[in-house]
Amino acid sequence: MKTTTFEEYQTAYQKSVDDPEVFWAGIAGHFQWRRPWEKVLDWNFTEPKVEWFKGAKLNITENALDRHLAERGDQPAIIWEPNEPDDAAVTITYSQLHRRVCQFANVMKKLGVKKGDRVCIYLPMVPELAIAVLACARIGAIHSVVFGGFSARSIADRINDAGCTLVITSDGAFRGQKVIPMKETVDDALERCSTVKNVIVMTRTRTPVSMLKGRDHWWEEEVKYVDADCPAEEMDAEDVLFILYTSGSTGKPKGVVHTCGGYMVYATYTFANVFQYEPGEVHFCTADIGWITGHSYIVYGPLCYGATSLMFEGIPTYPDAGRFWEIIEKHKVNILYTAPTAIRSLMSFGLEYVKDHDLSSLTKLGSVGEPINEEAWNWYKHNIGHDKTPLVDTWWQTETGGMMITAIAGVTPEKPTYATLPLPGVQPVLVDEAGQEIKGNGVSGNLCIRFPWPGMLRTTWGDHERCRQTYFSTYPGMYFTGDGCLRDEDGMYRITGRVDDVINVSGHRIGTAEVENAINMHLGVVESAVVGYPHDIKGQGIYAYIITENKPDDPDMMRKDIAATVTRVIGPIARPDKVQFVTGLPKTRSGKIMRRILRKVAEGETSNLGDTSTLLDPAVVEEIKEGAL
């Protein structure tokens, strides 16, 4: 599956464009299928309809677990590093993982969960999270993992949208010094949900929790009464594997749908190829499984390839800013895959946290989730990679299922701040506002993809029209990414950031409309407008302009109260960093907020606001400029 020289990459790329079906059938041949496909690809981007390997039968867990048992049953599949550095790390071999997944799959079966049922998973970064995910896949249940930083309300919205019948959670979570309630949050969520019949609770923190008779079950208790034999459900390549909710520019988060066959092929191929994974290497992806990066590069990609995947429960700064480096030394990590926000944060603590650790095991470095600035790129390459370890900047999205534009470690060229070249199978296009393709090099535009790849989303759960509208209607015949992009003189791609109303805070995608809706629910708030602004550590911060009924007596207290409301409605990750109280917002005569002006003010660029003559009341701009934070 790997292309190990630049020439091989070029040949593979050309083949993937000239003859995509032959190319992908070749890659798919590396997997275990119970029955082969009838057709490699069937597609159109108008409905849209995308089907890969249709008619093929498989179960992804047979690829992630069963097929490794003979050869590497005793090899670690998961190494788990707990929050507390002094607590023992846990190693789970492929045979142990197989056993635990089958066992837990039987627990779900016993509770009546069947193929096609939706299961919400709300767990901290413990092995049981990976086990729950795989157990769903084992029986054909569709998992919807919700990141632990989301509120009860956000969980409820996701449960209701997908109609989940089972929730899997824990009593609490350890994150650095904090103990965070999980079951209690689920209980609050379930007050709004009518589809959930059962809740399974795993013990982590021993936080007292309420357990309702007939609905709630202890994980540890249930696994005692089932055996570890659970034949895998036979799935069609195009059956749904999971739903993962993500933010867009409008409305509530949408459930991105990935299917079994194409996603498996794509996540695994990109993992193996981009990181040039060698047998026995330890791969440490620092993402949370609640995000797509964790789905594809902690669970499915590495395990389907028979790799060893390290899962870390805690945070990079606990007990101090040396934790990542300590983990790398302790577990002899070979591949580190992390986000620019983590790098910038650790950079700010200085090199003393790095210097005493032996990082010589590292063979490959990766970055993901947001644009990486040059300073962070260089720091990472120099101080962590000692200038000899390849560093790949991987651009992709929840919707793409796996990496799209990235260097291949040690194989294709690197360039700081550039995602560089498309992987085989990926056909990027830059388009202008009028939808015309911008050809040639040394140009920038909106990034689209013109041909399907196996890992792409198939629909948005329960609302196919929304999928069409969001991704396939802006530029007919193409998938629109929502990102701006530059292609330099050498044909290398650099992602410049979102061109829609999505902001990327610490690598987390947040829709400005969602934050505004939450703020508007606060007592005394009349209207609000939220934009992103450059933030040294987080990449982008959240800047909120808020109109209140009355001038706040204690603006600081009101800011805190509003933050509390946002935390309650969405979760702590969406809390505004800056709140400016205003008496009006810059609106056009047709009532549209001119966000361009608000963005400029938030960026501190008040001297050149461009044309403001179409504004209903140009005076508000002066007030906003004066009060800028």
Binding site for ligand WTA (CB under 6 A): 246, 291-293, 368-371, 393-398, 419, 481-483, 495, 498, 504, 509
The least CB distance from residue 517 to ligand WTA, in Å, is: 20
The least CB distance from residue 494 to ligand WTA, in Å, is: 8
Contact 394, 366 (CB under 8 A): yes
The least CB distance from residue 499 to ligand WTA, in Å, is: 9
| SS3 state of residue 262 | helix
Structure tokens at 397: 């999205």
The least CB distance from residue 301 to ligand WTA, in Å, is: 13
Contact 54, 25 (CB under 8 A): no
The least CB distance from residue 482 to ligand WTA, in Å, is: 6
In DSSP terms, 582 is beta-bridged to 547
Q: Report CA-CA distances (Å) from 557 to 553, 554, 563, 564.
A: 9, 5, 10, 11
Q: How big is the chain, counted in residues?
A: 629
Q: Give helix then strand counts, H and E, for the chain.
A: 21, 30
Q: Among residues 395 and 472, whose Cβ is nearest to ligand WTA?
A: 395
The least CB distance from residue 483 to ligand WTA, in Å, is: 5
Q: Among residues 24 and 479, whose Cβ is nearest to ligand WTA?
A: 479
| SS3 state of residue 450 | coil
In DSSP terms, 482 is beta-bridged to none
Q: Among residues 222 and 514, whose Cβ is nearest to ligand WTA?
A: 514
* Neighbour tally for 162: CB within 10 Å: 22
The least CB distance from residue 480 to ligand WTA, in Å, is: 11
Q: Among residues 170 and 398, whose Cβ is nearest to ligand WTA?
A: 398
Q: Among residues 124 and 371, whose Cβ is nearest to ligand WTA?
A: 371
The least CB distance from residue 370 to ligand WTA, in Å, is: 5
369 sits in the region (left: phi over 0; alpha: psi -120 to 50; else beta) called left
357 sits in the region (left: phi over 0; alpha: psi -120 to 50; else beta) called beta
Q: Which residues contact 196 (CB under 8 A, 6 or more apart)?
A: 120, 159, 164, 165, 166, 167, 190, 215
The least CB distance from residue 338 to ligand WTA, in Å, is: 11
Give DSSP secondary structure letters for 403-431.
--B-PPTTTS---TT--BSBPTT--EEEE
The least CB distance from residue 385 to ligand WTA, in Å, is: 17
In DSSP terms, 422 is beta-bridged to 405
b vs e for 439-454, b when ≥16 Cβ sit within 10 Å of the residue's Cβ? Answer: eeeeebbbbbbebbbb
Q: Among residues 143 and 183, whose Cβ is nearest to ligand WTA?
A: 143
Q: Among residues 336 and 621, whose Cβ is nearest to ligand WTA?
A: 336
Contact 58, 261 (CB under 8 A): yes
Structure tokens at 112: 């009546």
Laid out side by side, the sheet with 479-487 consists of 428-431, 443-449, 479-487, 493-498
Nearest position to ligand WTA, beta carbon: 398
| SS3 state of residue 231 | coil
Contact 610, 552 (CB under 8 A): no
The least CB distance from residue 402 to ligand WTA, in Å, is: 9
Contact 481, 488 (CB under 8 A): no
The alpha carbon dihedral of 504, 507, 511, 512 has a sign of negative
Q: Among residues 499 and 615, whose Cβ is nearest to ligand WTA?
A: 499
CA-CA distance, 354 to 335, in Å (whole number)? Answer: 17
Q: Among residues 186 and 448, whose Cβ is nearest to ligand WTA?
A: 448
CA-CA distance, 119 to 198, in Å (whole number)? Answer: 10
**CA-based angle 489:492:497, to the nearest 5?**
110
Q: Among residues 85 and 251, whose Cβ is nearest to ligand WTA?
A: 251
The least CB distance from residue 449 to ligand WTA, in Å, is: 12
Q: Report CA-CA distances (Å) from 231 to 35, 106, 111.
A: 16, 10, 17
Query: What is the separation of C-alpha 161 from the centre of its chain, rounded to a whole number of angstroms?
Result: 19
| SS3 state of residue 460 | strand
Q: Among residues 271 and 395, whose Cβ is nearest to ligand WTA?
A: 395
In DSSP terms, 428 is beta-bridged to 449
Structure tokens at 481: 């990414």
Q: Among residues 368 and 376, whose Cβ is nearest to ligand WTA?
A: 368
Structure tokens at 586: 């810059």
The least CB distance from residue 393 to ligand WTA, in Å, is: 5
Q: Among residues 53 and 377, whose Cβ is nearest to ligand WTA?
A: 377
The least CB distance from residue 296 to ligand WTA, in Å, is: 8
Q: Among residues 37 and 312, whose Cβ is nearest to ligand WTA?
A: 312
